[in-house]
Structure 1
């Protein structure tokens, strides 16, 4: 029988999100892919340093301990196949059980997300992320220069999510952008018992919820949102309707999120607004979900 990834959480990740290829990327961005390939070939036996999503991937793969396949990580990259050799060798060096990869030598890789049954795509390429989101796959543009994840929670995967346009649709955010804060609060108060439509990351949160009882690894999630009372109620009731729990909820009423995230110490934070992501990236690994009216 052919192999399949049915029942697993499938994460597709670019080389540059998993490893620190920033110096090499300067050659790639110059347009000389031959020089880039030659550089990667010279560095073939030199493991790349961990990138912004390294801790996230390492912990996700730890859910497969005991021989039960629960998470699959696939490298999906604009790199060429020769550079892919270095990616696989670097993964092996760090003990990351990554077996599958697709390398497109500059072509847009998002079209392979559906055959992979990927539920999440992480990339440093903004266009690839937007195309993935348009195709219905949760995706985020990682900030390669984000602070690395804390090492304080080796047996606990910690992920923080913004609400509107990430876990939920941007329905309410559209009201805020169009009519202002007072109208937004009234809109949400009137609909407190009406669940919000799902956003692109609802399936990711659901999948993480399903991993919570894995022996040896724990999951801790947080909702970190600019909402405040009374608009908080609709967000919580939506999660209740979905029968999905989060461990922490922060209703910050517009306060900067970065310092709160520093205390939570996530392995990754997802938000739709560039300003929130930039604030967070000073403290934690972060990525922008380029979806919704406020994403820019």
Structure 2
């Protein structure tokens, strides 16, 4: 019987999302592919330092520690196989049980998300993020400058989400962008009883809560989620009712009415935060690992 990743939370990520390979990437940018491969080969036995997604991956894999395979983490990278060898050695040195990887040597790797059945793709390459989102997969570009503290709250995985264009569609955001705040508030109050259409990250939130239910409290590791949104009353009601309609409960909800998100996230201490707006990502990156969800009207290109 073939091996299957069905009924598992599947996270795919690039080498630069998991490990700090920015110096190596600079060599690639300045000197080209051959110099990059030579450098990676020379450092094949030198473990890379943790990157932006390292705390997230380590805590997700902790949900497998009782021997039940609930989470699968797969390397999905534009790197060449030689560089992939260093990535796996670095993972082994860090105690991360990674078994699967796809290394495409420069070609877009996001096409492999479909056979993996991935619930999340993290990459430092914005074009790959755009491709993954267009294909219907939750994806974000990691902010390499994010504060990373792999030691904090070791028994709790904390993930925070923006609302519009992330958990929810950008329907309401389009009203705000075209007609302003007053029109947005009026629109959302008038439609408070109608759930928002799902956004690109609804499948990830659903998968995370299935993981929490499957694991229970036996592992000593729990999940804590937060909605962190620029919405304020009365527009908050539609967001809450949408989550209720989906049958998903978040642990915390912050309706900030346009306040800077970073200081609030510093108190929540996320292992990852997802937002569609670059200014919010820049603020959030001072609080913890951050991913830019390049979706919705504010990210339309051209």
TM-score of the pair, normalised by structure 2: 0.96
Bigger drift between 140-149 and 73-82 goes to 140-149
Structure 2 counterparts to residues 113-152 of structure 1, below 5 A = 113-149=113-149, 151-152=151-152
Which runs of at least 4 in structure 1 moved beyond 6 Å after TM superposition? none
Q: Counterpart of 2:247?
A: 243
1:221 paired with 2:230, answer no
Pairing partner for 1:291 from 287, 291, 295 = 295
Cα shift readout 1:93-115 (whole Å, capped 9, x = no counterpart): 01101100000111111111101
For 2:149 and 2:245, locate their aligned partners in 1 and report how far apart those are by CA, in whole Å.
32
Structure 2 counterparts to residues 43-192 of structure 1, below 5 A = 43-149=43-149, 151-192=151-192
For 2:299 and 2:243, locate their aligned partners in 1 and report how far apart those are by CA, in whole Å.
23
Q: Secondary structure in 1 aligned to 2:66? A: coil
Instruction: Tell me, yes or no, if the aligned pair for 1:110 and 1:131 is still in contact at 8 Å.
Output: yes
Q: Secondary structure in 2 aligned to 1:63? A: helix
Bigger drift between 278-287 and 7-16 goes to 278-287
Structure 1 residue 65 displacement after superposition? 1.4
TM-score of the pair, normalised by structure 1: 0.98
Cα shift readout 1:21-47 (whole Å, capped 9, x = no counterpart): 000000112361111011000001100
For 2:151 and 2:36, locate their aligned partners in 1 and report how far apart those are by CA, in whole Å.
32
Structure 1 residue 294 displacement after superposition? 1.4
Cα shift readout 1:178-210 (whole Å, capped 9, x = no counterpart): 010000000000111100000010011011111
For 1:275 and 1:150, locate their aligned partners in 2 and report how far apart those are by CA, in whole Å.
24
Q: Counterpart of 2:234?
A: 230
Instruction: Tell me, yes or no, if the aligned pair for 1:150 and 1:266 is still in contact at 8 Å.
Output: no
Q: What number of residue pairs does the alignment pair up?
A: 296
Instruction: Tell me, yes or no, if the aligned pair for 1:149 and 1:265 is still in contact at 8 Å.
Output: no
Instruction: Tell me, yes or no, if the aligned pair for 2:262 and 2:287 is still in contact at 8 Å.
Output: yes
For 2:6 and 2:254, locate their aligned partners in 1 and report how far apart those are by CA, in whole Å.
34
Structure 1 residue 2 displacement after superposition? 1.6
Q: Counterpart of 2:276?
A: 272
Instruction: Tell me, yes or no, if the aligned pair for 2:270 and 2:287 is still in contact at 8 Å.
Output: no
Instruction: Tell me, yes or no, if the aligned pair for 1:77 and 1:103 is still in contact at 8 Å.
Output: yes
Pairing partner for 2:259 from 230, 255, 258 = 255
Instruction: Tell me, yes or no, if the aligned pair for 1:122 and 1:139 is still in contact at 8 Å.
Output: yes
Cα shift readout 1:218-270 (whole Å, capped 9, x = no counterpart): 00000000000000000000000000000000000000000100100000000
For 1:82 and 1:152, locate their aligned partners in 2 and report how far apart those are by CA, in whole Å.
33
For 1:254 and 1:154, locate their aligned partners in 2 and report how far apart those are by CA, in whole Å.
31
Instruction: Tell me, yes or no, if the aligned pair for 2:143 and 2:290 is still in contact at 8 Å.
Output: yes
Structure 1 residue 149 displacement after superposition? 3.4
Bigger drift between 213-222 and 171-180 goes to 213-222
Bigger drift between 2-11 and 225-234 goes to 2-11
